[in-house]
Structure 1
Amino acid sequence: MLDLTWLDPLVQHFQLGDPKPPEAIRVGLIHQTWKLNTSEGSFIAQRLHPRFDPAVTEDGQAIGQWLRQHGFPVPRFRRARDGSLHLSWAEGLWRVMDCLPGSCHPTPPNWGYLEEAGAAVGRLHRLLAQMDYRFRFQIPHFHDTAHLWQQLRQYEPAPEVQAEWQFLIETVPNLLLPSGIPTQIIHADLKFNNFLFDEQGRFVGLVDLDTFMYHNLYVELGDALRSWGKRGNTLQPEAILAGLRGYAQTGNLHALQPELLLQGIQLITLELGMRFLQDWFEDAYWNWDPQRYPSRKAHNLARCQQQICLYQDLTQRAPQLLESMRALLSCEQRKEGR
């Protein structure tokens, strides 16, 4: 039976009105998330994962306000009457944000959705490149692939994960991006189900404001394109190119190198595999599905194995995909030169 003892204190603290029974949202892998419909409107309630400092909400609020002021739709965190952004309840921290209109999709219904997402990311990057912000909280070593690799090396692999551990330890160093690539604020978690679309497939919002950070665009786009192109254990080049066509509409693509774009997808695919394998050892971070797996460890191992399969599939398709990416970039550079 679901524990809803937090509901009444939450709606009173944030003055949300009379609530209907909340709906659990199981898409996210970290925070406990609920949709609330009340007499005052629709809201999203979240219990922060213990590894997140409450300052992450202040950061998301500040960057979200900047984006909304410039016409880019992201949710707004709700403040209580006393000005606070959180409710402390039952050894957890809860927060509430506006529920944006639109729907998310686990996978793109068609390539047009990916072009919409790519164009939205292009606009997002242009806005964030203009912003200078000092973060109050950052997930320690998030997207620090070299650090994660060093941590993974220190584990003594059990027989059931020996093959995955060995593959990651041997493969990842050759994928690390060169130093000196320019950085800017990025979203850092542009998985496809973080995008909201209307019934016509137009982009109407971006959610998940907890991972903003300074990093390079190859890491950002690598993670996005990996998510957008994933179908089971394969990565679809057509999906990746559709996303890049949308990104090119904003004029951002011409400054990027196709080889590093491809390397970014490969790197982040295995970085995520390392993160899942790390939690196999620690058994403490990712949410897991008890209806499909007997334990968090089992779910994390399956996730790690899928990322390795995605990387291997992408490696086989890499020459053709790289040629297509170069052709797309060349076309955009010619347009830029006119």
Structure 2
Amino acid sequence: MARTWAGDLPTPDFAWLDPLVRHFQLGEPELLEALGGGLVHQTWKLKAGQGSFVVQHLHPQFDPAVTEDGQAIGSWLRQQGFPVPQFRRARDGSLHLSWGGGLWRVMDCLPGSSYSTPPAWSYLEQAGAAVGRLHRLLAGWHYSFRFQIPHFHDTAYFWQQLCQRSPDPEIRAEWQFFVETVPRLLLPPGLPTQIIHADLKFNNFLFDERGKFAGLVDLDTFMDHNLYVELGDALRSWGRRGEAVEAEAILAGLRGYAQTGNLRALQPELLLQGIQLMTLELGMRFLLDWFEDCYWNWDPQRYASRRDHNLARCRRQIRLYQHLTQIAPQLLESIYALASGEGNWLS
């Protein structure tokens, strides 16, 4: 079959393709499609003679040990019946191809579809229930990580880094907002921790044709942290609708989570605080990359530079936080009601 590059991308851009399919023994490549949802790694879906795969060019700030960690955790989760992708090993046992100064890896393509926004609230309930099951599985399991993203979900660190910057007039208002607002949102020390996924944005979930949970992707961010950070980051992502927060989206996710019995152990005030904190943590990370100009992928068709795109992202997070603050009293009341009425544990 003739090769096809989705979007009519020129073949010279993919000189890595032939070495990659040989290294991982994928068979003759047939269709290559860029997947644009990732903010860090460059990602493609590849159809080849041996099946369908996801190919990633690893961001240079990631140590290759991150793939070994993902393989170990993924293998354990699959043994428990929880669907996550498996990285493919080459004939020599390696998990990477070193080519052109970068590292490339391949994982099996799980069945199912992902969505940038949920087609219905039931999808969020499915996602919430999947996260509850994931947390129950990981609560009693321990793993020694070989690589961790430096200071990932370390909000105090990002705040300290931002305080050390000298803001240009263009971003002074945003800089001052974070410096003044973040300290009062920091979670109390000493909260219980466990292994978490740490990047539960909605498009990391796969669903079958009936809208049932089919799999969870992105194995690079597993870490030890508290559940308020985990759920705060997930729910701020699930609840975003443009530059506003949809309370019902957050509650739909929590309804699913409550079905696993996990919600009863959490404090509603800290859960809401976690959503607010993670909203601003992401905003700070975007603003820090405005200074550093090296981390996040950016859209050159919409913005003149990475810095412009990061500033737009940063400002959106501030507006989301402001709207979240407006609806916080009603949202907290609903979380209390949901926590008090949650059902029995699911198997």
With structure 2 as the length reference, what TM-score do the two structures score? 0.95
Partner in structure 1 of residue 166 of structure 2: 156
Task: Name the count of aligned residue pairs.
Answer: 335
Cα displacement (A) at 1:21: 3.5
- Structure 2 matches for 1:298-337, cutoff 5 A? 298-332=308-342
Partner in structure 2 of residue 132 of structure 1: 142
Partner in structure 2 of residue 90 of structure 1: 100
Partner in structure 2 of residue 146 of structure 1: 156
Q: Which of 53, 66, 70 is residue 63 of structure 2 equivalent to? A: 53
C-alpha distance in structure 2 between counterparts of 1:306 and 1:20, whole Å? 39
Say which SS state the counterpart of residue 29 (structure 2) adopts. coil
Say which SS state the counterpart of residue 13 (structure 2) adopts. coil
C-alpha distance in structure 2 between counterparts of 1:147 and 1:138, whole Å? 15
Q: State which drifts further: 1-10 or 146-155.
A: 1-10
Q: Which of 256, 264, 267 is residue 254 of structure 1 equivalent to? A: 264
C-alpha distance in structure 2 between counterparts of 1:323 and 1:260, whole Å? 13
Partner in structure 1 of residue 243 of structure 2: 233
Partner in structure 1 of residue 252 of structure 2: 242
1:267-303 per-residue CA deviation (whole Å, 9 max, x = no partner) reads 0000000000000000000000111111100100000
Report runs of 4+ in structure 1 exceeding 4 Å deviation.
Answer: none
C-alpha distance in structure 1 between counterparts of 2:135 and 2:292, whole Å? 34
1:240-286 per-residue CA deviation (whole Å, 9 max, x = no partner) reads 00000000111111000000000000000000000000000000000
Confirm or deny: 8 A CA contact 2:41 2:57 kept in the other structure: yes
C-alpha distance in structure 1 between counterparts of 2:170 and 2:211, whole Å? 43
Cα displacement (A) at 1:39: 1.0
1:17-70 per-residue CA deviation (whole Å, 9 max, x = no partner) reads 000141111100000101100111000010100000000000000000010000
Cα displacement (A) at 1:199: 1.4
Partner in structure 2 of residue 265 of structure 1: 275
- Structure 2 matches for 1:1-338, cutoff 5 A? 1=10, 3-332=13-342
Q: For 1:287, give the aligned amino acid.
A: N
Q: For 2:189, give the aligned amino acid.
A: S
Q: Which runs of 5+ in 2 are unaligned?
A: 1-9
C-alpha distance in structure 2 between counterparts of 1:146 and 1:187, whole Å? 20
C-alpha distance in structure 2 between counterparts of 1:245 and 1:77, whole Å? 32
Cα displacement (A) at 1:332: 2.3
C-alpha distance in structure 1 between counterparts of 2:140 and 2:55, whole Å? 30
Cα displacement (A) at 1:331: 1.0
C-alpha distance in structure 2 between counterparts of 1:117 and 1:58, whole Å? 26
1:163-196 per-residue CA deviation (whole Å, 9 max, x = no partner) reads 1110011000000000110000000000000000
Q: For 2:82, give the aligned amino acid.
A: F
1:118-172 per-residue CA deviation (whole Å, 9 max, x = no partner) reads 0000000011112110000000110000011000111111111111110011000
Say which SS state the counterpart of residue 60 (structure 1) adopts. helix
With structure 1 as the length reference, what TM-score do the two structures score? 0.98
Say which SS state the counterpart of residue 34 (structure 2) adopts. strand
Over the matched positions of the two proteins, sequence identity in percent amounts to 77
Q: Which runs of 5+ in 1 are unaligned?
A: none
Confirm or deny: 8 A CA contact 2:31 2:48 kept in the other structure: no
Cα displacement (A) at 1:74: 0.3
Say which SS state the counterpart of residue 20 (structure 1) adopts. strand
C-alpha distance in structure 2 between counterparts of 1:307 and 1:106, whole Å? 17
| Cα root mean square deviation, aligned | 1.0
